Structure 1
Amino acid sequence: MIRVAVVGTGGISASHLQAYLDFPQRCTVVALVDVFPERAQARRREFGLEGAGVHTSHRELLERGDVDLVSVCSPPSTHEEVSVDLLRAGVNVLCEKPMAPSLAACDAILRAEREGGAVFSSVAQNRFRDDVVRLKAALDSGLAGPVSHVQVDSAWWRGLGYYDLWWRGTWAEEGGGCTLNHAVHHVDLLLWLLGAPRSVTAALTNAAHENAEVEDLSVAVLAYERALATITSSVVSHGERQRIVVQGRRASVALDGEVVAELAQPNGFPAPEGDTELAGRLRALAAAHRPLAHTGHRGQVDDVLTALETGCRPAVDGHDGRRTIELITAIYRAGIERRTVDLPLSGDDPYARPGTLAERAPRFFAKSASVTDLAGSISVPGSGAGIGAGR
């Protein structure tokens, strides 16, 4: 039986707790940690965890000595310290997105994993979704042909009150705005589907949240060898219509299942009917997909539990998390310095260091409120193409 603790009992912790409770024969929740103990107490009552201890510091978990796996659901600025301390003590970690606010912090986590012999997994729950797996299978099949363009719309909407929570809306505590804390889901998926680009250009702004320092909208253009990808990161998008559309030379495939395959007339214009045979093959490939047994956070928790039970690596590890942070860091540098940034980032890149982003990033507005908790539930975009859940 794997003994589990959760550090940080805010909104996203509910997804982790429910996932663990879905595997009662494999794991048990023994502790909850929060700097606001009353919030942890409320979570304990909500999920019927009468036997779980409540603590105010992750270090108290180390003093317990009976915890095997910890979900880190605390603010991004704490991820490095909490993960490093636990990993060095040999405690396995499943860390919410983003892995850490800087590449140096990601590297410190990876070193601690090696030193402690524990397992680290970076949350990327959207890889455990049927629509995402179908899209990856379509691209891996090669049927659509070489990729020309990928359109990624990480479209979310948040009201002003969202940034009133004490750790949100500042470069120092949140680590960034929508590019880091919302589009992180889509950035991970793009890297999983297409690999890393050669360079990136970007623009950042705060269009609608006068109570936050950070950006609420960014647009990045990623250059591959012959392809381009665009990522729009937003918390100003009414309707939260999220999309991933991949244009191949022979066909396009989208996260929502849409398939289009054109055929050219002699004059180069598209023929009226298109390539129905190829479109049919791509749809048949999608139809043959066997639904995943567990999806979302439940799917990733199942994967991590399996890794601990069998000694294998988790499907999403710290190297995956680091690659995502590297691309996001490049987007920020490109937007702040208004220039093209090449990838991979060099080892001495100043933006890889903790504090550089917070030092050089524009303060679009001053954070004007700081509350310890917010009423209401976490919502997920209603369409089938919706990705993840922002914290």
Structure 2
Amino acid sequence: MKVHMSPRSHRMAIVGTGGIAAAHAEAIRASAGRAHLVAAADVDIDRARTFAAAWDAPHAYASLTELLREEQVDLICLCTPPGQHAPLAAQCLRAGVTVLVEKPPTLSLAELDELAALERRSPGHVATVFQHRFGPAAVRLRRMVADGELGRPLLATCATQWYRDDAYFAVPWRGNWTTEGGGPTMGHGIHQFDLLFSVLGPWREVSALAARQARSTDTEDVSMALVTFENGAVATVVNSVVSPRQTSALRFDFERATVEVEHLYGYTDDDWTLTAAPGHEDVLARWTPGSGGAPSGHADQLAAVLDALDNGEPPPVTVEDARRTMEFIAALYASAFTGERVRSGQIGPDSPFWLRMNGTAAPWDKVNTQ
């Protein structure tokens, strides 16, 4: 009789113990023993120790360097401010350790391409946290699209309209091109339009605008884009941190149905609806959602990452997957700041928007320096 061995429990660590780190620790705890937290690290060692104690991690360190020297780990969750993502992820790769990086994975396409080159020489991998891809409704929708059950995608709308006050931006690294990489396009709407791309596939061209409407930041507080896709679909993408009624909303219009979701920071099956086109009511039976459940979150993605590690595969979301989303951000800023349409593949090493998301400077920066 063949004996099936249970997958081993993966040794994990969390670097950066701010607010989002708790979501990673909760996902590890919810993994039913597939992973366990062995260490936490933070430049504030007291905060690292408090976090480690709260989540039953036996060790706390003041740096990633110290953690890698003292611990044997299979996977590191990188939860630091965005400006530290690229150098710390590179350090993990050089140590041969796989790293799951909070969004945005880097501050620029240049940094992401450097990580991709380093990954090719390392046994470790880089995966980006885009957890909304992994909720059961999104998985179901992608399957139905791939199977042609909904017909051709025609139109989509994607809105991340949130509210962040001046106190939120008092944190030094927020609202700054050099430390956050961008405004709501980079730090807030990224989850929602990444989900859009995971359903509709490669985008082809973007025409956009970005503005500072109410916040005294270096970056934009609003952006809007018109997007065309290789499959012929068209979409609008709106990102905001000045909207008092907050929402995260996606609508997909296919030939045979409209599929919609509205939530804030995580959706359940109950947040999704499918409206059949006349004569195509049969698609309703194939949607068959579950009931309620936990909101889409880090636990769903961590389960997929652990599956990949158990199978010896690169964990999702790969650098290549994340690059499509990051390239869109660079293209949106390039279009907004130059007034030109930008095509996929257009932004390369010869473009200032490859090196930094604001290119040579945002228009309001130029006004301020005149």
Tell me if structure 2 keeps the 8 A contact 1:9–1:74: yes
**1:212-259 CA deviation, whole Å, 9 max, x = no partner?**
211111000012353311000111222322211112234322234333
In structure 2, the residue matched to 1:331 is 332
Answer with 88-97 or 287-296: which moved more: 287-296
- For the pair 1:31 / 2:39, whether they are aligned, the reply is yes
User: Displacement, 1:168?
Assistant: 0.6
Residues 331-380 of structure 1 deviation map (CA, whole Å, 9 limit, x = unaligned): 01111112111112343342454346264224579xxxxxxxxxxxxxxx
Q: 1:318 to 1:292 in 2, by over 3 A?
A: farther
Following superposition, the deviation at residue 95 of structure 1 comes to 0.6
Equivalent in 8, 15, 33 of residue 7 of structure 1: 15
CA change 1:345–1:140 in 2 (3 A) is same
CA–CA distance in 2 between the matches of 1:356 and 1:127?
24
| Residues 200, 229 of structure 2: 8 Å contact kept | no
Aligned partners of 1:150, 1:305: CA distance in 2, in Å? Answer: 32
Q: Relative to structure 1, is the Cα distance of residues 203 and 316 closer, same or farther in structure 2, using a 3 angstrom cutoff?
A: same
For 1:32-51, what aligned pairs fall within 5 Å after superposition?
32-49=40-57, 51=58
Contact 2:158 2:192 in 1 (8 A): yes
Once the two structures are TM-superposed, the CA of residue 80 in structure 1 deviates from its matched residue by 0.9
| Percent of residue pairs bearing the same amino acid type | 34
Bigger RCO (CA 8 Å, 6+ sep): 1
Distance 1:11 1:68 in 2: 23
Equivalence for 1:222: 227
The AA in structure 1 aligned to 2:221 is: D
Matched, 1:357 2:344: no
Cα distance in 2, alignment partners of residues 195 and 328 from structure 1: 15
Tell me the SS of whatever aligns to 1:139: helix
Distance 1:108 1:88 in 2: 13
Bigger mean CA deviation after superposition, 236-245 or 356-365: 356-365
Q: Which consecutive aligned stretches of 4+ in structure 1 deviate over 4 angstroms post-superposition?
A: 288-295, 362-365
Contact 1:101 1:175 (C-alpha < 8 Å) held by counterparts? yes
Q: How does 1:163-242 map to 2 (within 5 A)?
A: 163-210=169-216, 212-224=217-229, 226-242=232-248
Counterpart-to-counterpart distance in 2, 1:161 and 1:115 = 43
Q: How well do the aligned residues superpose, as a CA RMSD in angstroms?
A: 2.4
Secondary structure of the residue aligned to 1:238 is strand
Tell which deviates more after alignment, 328-337 or 30-39. 30-39
1:260 to 275, 281, 291: 275
Measured after TM superposition, the shift of residue 133 of structure 1 is 2.4
Distance 2:352 2:282 in 1: 45
Which residue pairs with 1:286 in the alignment? 287
Residues 175-234 of structure 1 deviation map (CA, whole Å, 9 limit, x = unaligned)? 100001111112211211111222111110122212x21111100001235331100011
Quote the Cα distance in structure 1 between the aligned partners of 2:183 and 2:101: 19
Q: Is the 8 A contact 1:101 1:325 kept in 2?
A: no
Q: CA deviation at 1:151?
A: 0.5
Secondary structure of 1:108's counterpart equals: helix
Q: 2:159 aligns with which of 153, 158, 166?
A: 153
Q: Is the contact between residue 260 and residue 272 of structure 2 (CA under 8 Å) also seen in structure 1?
A: yes
**CA offset digits 1:277-306 (Å, max 9, x no partner):** 41x322211216699999520111122222
Shift of 1:310: 2.2
Distance 1:209 1:283, change over 3 A: same
Matches within 5 A, 1:291-310: 295-310=296-311
Equivalent-residue separation in structure 1 for 2:94 and 2:179 (angstroms): 24
Say how many residue pairs are matched: 348
Matched residues in 1 for 2:294 and 2:241: separation? Answer: 31
Residue 75 of structure 2, aligned match among 57, 60, 69: 69
Aligned with residue 54 of structure 1, among 51, 61, 67: 61
Shift of the 293–14 alpha-carbon distance from structure 1 to 2, 3 Å rule, reads: closer
Partner of 1:347: helix, strand, or coil? coil
Report the equivalent of 1:271: none
**Conserved in 2, the CA contact under 8 Å of 1:130 and 1:291?**
no
SS at match of 2:124: coil
Corresponding residue number in structure 1 for 2:129: 123
Which letter maps to 1:92?
T
In structure 1, runs of 5+ residues without a counterpart are 263-274, 366-391
Structure 1, 177-186 or 36-45: larger mean CA deviation:
36-45
